[in-house]
Structure 1
Amino acid sequence: MAQSGVQTTNHITGSRKWLALATVLVTMFFSSMDQTVVSTAMPTIIGQLHGFSLYAWTFTAYMMASSVTVPIYGKLSDVYGRKPFYLFGLIIFGIGSAICGQAHTMTELVWARAVQGIGAGAMMSMPRATVGDIFDPKERGKWMGVMGAVFGVSSILGPTVGGWITDTFSWRWVFYINLPFAVLAIIGVIVSLPKVRAEQRVKVDWVGSALLIIGLIPILLGFTWAGSKYHWNSPIELTLFIGGIIVLALFMFWERKASDPLLSPSLFKNRIFSTSLILGILVGMTMFGSIMFLPVYVQGVIGLNAQSSGWVMAPMMISFIVGSIVSGQVMSRTGRYKVLAWISGAVIVLGSFLLNQMNVHTAWSTVVINMIVLGLGIGSLMPMMNVAVQNAFPYRMMGTVNSTQQFVQSLSGVIASPIFGTILNKTFSDKLNETLPASLKQFQSKLSDVNPQSLITSQAQQSLSAAFNKLGAQGHQLYLQLMDAVKTSLTYGIQRLFLVGLVFAVLCFIGTFFLPEVKLKGQEYFQSGGSSEAGVESNEMKERKEKN
């Protein structure tokens, strides 16, 4: 370590590491809770700002801005340290939150959410990298479990906190509440994270960064609009996907030639890295399919009161926490993870299978058990993959590999949402046409293009009931027949979704058998250096030796 607190690496030692850990947990808590809090307040926001047509963009702008910046933050932080980018992300996120709270139109809110997203890109990648700066891979497992627990708790509390703030104060405080947490985190970063001096001058890959952003934005837009605003095979969708793929191909070509690439192609030569990315996509598709549509099933089929919908995912999140903590402890005690990956993958398959068996007669208690099983599997597998990837490379590359993995996982949600949404809408519409009683066929044309999620809200059902009551004495009976057909069709559609999720779960389980294992390193990890290729070769040599 150099004088005046300047270091040549990001490694955090001594008493500062506990303050750094506390800062990480605070950052993770308020940044992950922000999404669920905002989702809860959004109906009120739309009502006041009168911009329903821009509703999806409040999330799309945030998601695109955060996703495309994650790998850039990770690469730069390996060279210039986490501290400047952590601070930049917190400050920009705080500024974006303040502007969101001041928004007077939906257009202003969308742009402010994009600013928030630019800051969130650092907050998505820096906390996990900072934990890697504090603890070696063998210790890191249990602390990654704690981070998973923070994520789970914030996801459970978010909807309730969001509703309380909106009802008690104003929806604007949903954004303002981020500011004191951001200030605390900024103080923690300033005090606990070291200032890093690059050992050699590094040329920033600005061309690669620009190509990555230009290539990703049309693809993200394509997935966001597909199946809702435009058909998958529409000229606009095809243009977005083909154009994005062409630019990303140029990006990969450039990265092969760049002297210090943003995303080195050599990373993908490491089997642990490439296999973990594939597993991350598969488990992400399984998880997002459940998280997005289980509340729809519980409210629309089981009939849980909409006011309690904020707690629908609590059983899964609690088991996610337990799975994260248990798997982290197992990794820290044994230094191994491959058997744990097999077991976790098998539990994910079991949970997905149980979800696929649910129907219109399934009791709420059964749904809870099924959610717990799936949460245990996902919660134990996700932090394990993160630790395995970080362990597979030299310490000086941790920010790059960590942010790349985080980036791919975030794309899973972007990809899953339109695919699962299209499957649900198409299956629901087809099944409704089959099950609709003859007495209601006159309403078939009006219902064929209705989003099933819009029919399960209490407002929509009250409106439908009032419309049918105008038909006279038989009106209420017709309404009950319609809702029975809707419930049956919705169940059928969600069963198809869970079947697709089961396919991804099975593929994920199979993929765990292709994940190489390198025993988790201790303190020697922080002395690991050299080129990425050397680090990869070193780990693969160790893997072969252990097999022999």
Structure 2
Amino acid sequence: MTHRQVLKALSGLLLGLFVAVLSSTVVSNALPRILTDLHGGESAYTWVITAALLSMTASTPLWGKLSDLLSKKLLVQVAMGIYVVSSALAGLSQSTGALIACRVLQGIGAGGVIALGQICLAAMVPPRERGRYSGWFGAVFALATIGGPLIGGVIVDTDWLGWRWCFYVGIPFAVLAVLVLQRTLNLPEQTTRKPRIDYLGALLITAAVSLLMIWISLAGKDYAWLSWQSAAMVGGGLLLAVAFVAVERRAAEPIVPLDLFRHRTVALASIASALVGIGMYGATTFLGQFFQLAKEKTPTQAGLLTLPMILGLALSSTVAGRLITKYGKWKAYLVGGTVLLTAGLALLGGMRDDSPYGYLAAAMAITGIGLGLTSQNLVLAVQNTVPRHELGAASSVVTFFRTMGGAMGVSALGALLGNRVSHYLAQNLAGAGVQPSGGAGLGGGEIPDLHRLPAGVVPLVTDAFGHGVGTVFLVAAPFALLAVLVVLGVREVPLRTTAQ
């Protein structure tokens, strides 16, 4: 295919990717307002994010496996259809429970679009040329990450729209993406056979990750970390994981083909993706909360203030993609990216409610550059390793581990944030001689409404949230450091110049 033909075919995929990423980022700055309206707390804040990540995690290998058996074009359109229906239902939610359930469906659709986009690209373009187009994926990812918080902020700041339009706004783009895909995506159809879907494997991996996430969310609050409840949940999660491996070894069409991990690059890239996912989803989840609850900014302002990170991601992914295509080398970008990600998260770990914006902007830019150099190129390294008939499964395995790391990381970091904010807030209130009151979400476990708090109490709350979010990033930094050590062990193989 010529460059023009590839871009034409990618137009609908890139539009679909924009919509899928938008579904997660559009709520990031709107969540404090949404949960104030639905009376949700820090736990609900975390679960609105992690529910979508969890379902995306569980469904990604399934989409990848189906793409090796069925029409990729049809699968992308089905995924977009799921997104449209779930978005409409999410906008009608009347409780946090209903919203979280709809987010699960959104994650299934978004997971299909994100995974299948990379798979379709791999089917059209040989690895050596794939870097330049992966840069386009990174740029669109960054655009949606930029636009999402801004769109969500403007929507909740506009009285005649309201937060429900955060979920409705992506529907027209999704419908347009389906129509564009119908006209532009014309892949040669492989010989199809009746798929034997590994439903038991999908159920077991979802149950294992869910149980561990529930344990992380509730431990230390509803029961002690060292308790029979913790032992039961951790033990149950590990048993389910062992059962998953046993099922995958015998399944005719395993959801995660274990044979893929005989490739050293696949195994190491999967581990690195999980570690990078913690930083990626942690940054996009908690930065909006920091600017609104520690810096007292509106949702729209919070979106604008996170631009340094997103611009860094967009620039680094685009430039790295072109350089990789030109020289055929990719390992240096992975090592450099994970080092910068570690440094950026460590710098964000020092932020407080009174931190100057110049310091925050530099830390966010470094974090964004690190993410841009790693996330897409881990997929590229794996695609360059496996044979063509395993491209779908291998690509989705890397995405699977990235979203699983993100889901469990956000769940753990969210639980840590709730614990630290409660601790620092109790200290601040006790020091000021103020009794906590649940009237404005203060002391009741809910996201506080700063506008309803007494003027003298607001600085105590912003200090607690600033210190709490800083602690979250400081804890996330060592995971990025582990990613550095993992990618150092990846063996670089020059990118192939043919699709086979």
Give the structure-1-normalised TM-score: 0.79
1:136 and 2:126 equivalent? yes
Q: Which moved more, 1:360-369 or 1:141-150?
A: 360-369
| Partner residue in 2 for 1:520 | 495
Q: What is the alpha-carbon distance in structure 2 between the residues aligned to residue 43 and residue 412 of structure 1?
A: 24
Q: What is the alpha-carbon distance in structure 1 between the residues aligned to residue 33 and residue 460 of structure 2?
A: 30
Q: How does 1:430-449 map to 2 (within 5 A)?
A: 430-431=423-424, 440=433
| Partner residue in 1 for 2:61 | 71
Q: Deviations over 1:240-287 (max 9, x none)?
A: 433232122112112222344222222122111111112112222233
Q: What is the alpha-carbon distance in structure 1 between the residues aligned to residue 165 and residue 419 of structure 2?
A: 38
| Partner residue in 1 for 2:312 | 319
Identity of aligned residues (%): 26
Match of 2:151, as an amino acid?
V
Q: Choose from 182, 186, 190 the match for 2:174.
A: 182
Residue 394 of structure 1: CA displacement?
A: 0.8
Q: What is the alpha-carbon distance in structure 2 between the residues aligned to residue 498 and residue 276 of structure 1?
A: 23
Residue 163 of structure 1: CA displacement?
A: 4.0
Q: How does 1:16-415 map to 2 (within 5 A)?
A: 16-41=5-30, 50=38, 52=40, 55-56=44-45, 58-103=48-93, 109-165=99-155, 167=158, 168-191=160-183, 192-194=185-187, 196-198=189-191, 203-226=196-219, 232-233=225-226, 235-236=228-229, 238-302=231-295, 304=297, 308-359=301-352, 362-415=355-408
Q: Which moved more, 1:219-228 or 1:128-137?
A: 219-228
Q: What is the alpha-carbon distance in structure 1 between the residues aligned to residue 424 and residue 30 of structure 2?
A: 33
SS at match of 2:69: helix
Contact 2:249 2:258 in 1 (8 A): yes
Match of 2:79, as an amino acid?
G
Q: What is the alpha-carbon distance in structure 1 between the residues aligned to residue 473 and residue 115 of structure 2?
A: 30
Q: What is the alpha-carbon distance in structure 1 between the residues aligned to residue 105 and residue 324 of structure 2?
A: 38
Structure 1, unaligned runs of 5 or more = 1-11, 466-478, 528-548
Q: What is the alpha-carbon distance in structure 1 between the residues aligned to residue 353 and residue 163 of structure 2?
A: 36
SS at match of 2:345: helix
Q: What is the alpha-carbon distance in structure 2 between the residues aligned to residue 105 and residue 360 of structure 1?
A: 31
Aligned residues, how many? 495
Q: What is the alpha-carbon distance in structure 2 between the residues aligned to residue 100 and residue 356 of structure 1?
A: 33
Contact 1:81 1:195 in 2 (8 A): no
SS at match of 1:351: helix
Q: Deviations over 1:348-382 (max 9, x none)?
A: 23323433444565311121112112211221121
Contact 1:156 1:310 in 2 (8 A): yes
Indicate the RMSD between aligned Cα atoms, in angstroms: 3.5
SS at match of 1:133: helix
1:511 and 2:486 equivalent? yes
Q: Deviations over 1:35-54 (max 9, x none)?
A: 23244555666677x56479
Contact 1:296 1:453 in 2 (8 A): no
Residue 34 of structure 1: CA displacement?
A: 1.9
Residue 182 of structure 1: CA displacement?
A: 2.2
Contact 2:295 2:462 in 1 (8 A): no
Match of 2:492, as an amino acid?
E
Give the structure-2-normalised TM-score: 0.86
Q: What is the alpha-carbon distance in structure 1 between the residues aligned to residue 89 and residue 287 of structure 2?
A: 33
Contact 2:349 2:473 in 1 (8 A): yes
Residue 198 of structure 1: CA displacement?
A: 2.8
Structure 2, unaligned runs of 5 or more = none
SS at match of 1:186: helix
Residue 520 of structure 1: CA displacement?
A: 0.6
Counterparts in 2 of 1:37 and 1:261: CA distance versus 1, 3 Å: closer
| Partner residue in 2 for 1:464 | 454
Q: What is the alpha-carbon distance in structure 2 between the residues aligned to residue 197 and residue 113 of structure 1?
A: 33
Match of 2:473, as an amino acid?
F
Q: What is the alpha-carbon distance in structure 1 between the residues aligned to residue 89 and residue 54 of structure 2?
A: 18
Q: What is the alpha-carbon distance in structure 2 between the residues aligned to residue 486 and residue 99 of structure 1?
A: 34
Contact 1:40 1:163 in 2 (8 A): yes
Q: What is the alpha-carbon distance in structure 2 between the residues aligned to residue 360 and residue 68 of structure 1?
A: 37
Contact 2:35 2:447 in 1 (8 A): no
Match of 1:500, as an amino acid?
V
Residue 123 of structure 1: CA displacement?
A: 1.5
Contact 1:67 1:407 in 2 (8 A): yes
| Partner residue in 2 for 1:500 | 475
Residue 61 of structure 1: CA displacement?
A: 4.3
Contact 1:142 1:332 in 2 (8 A): yes
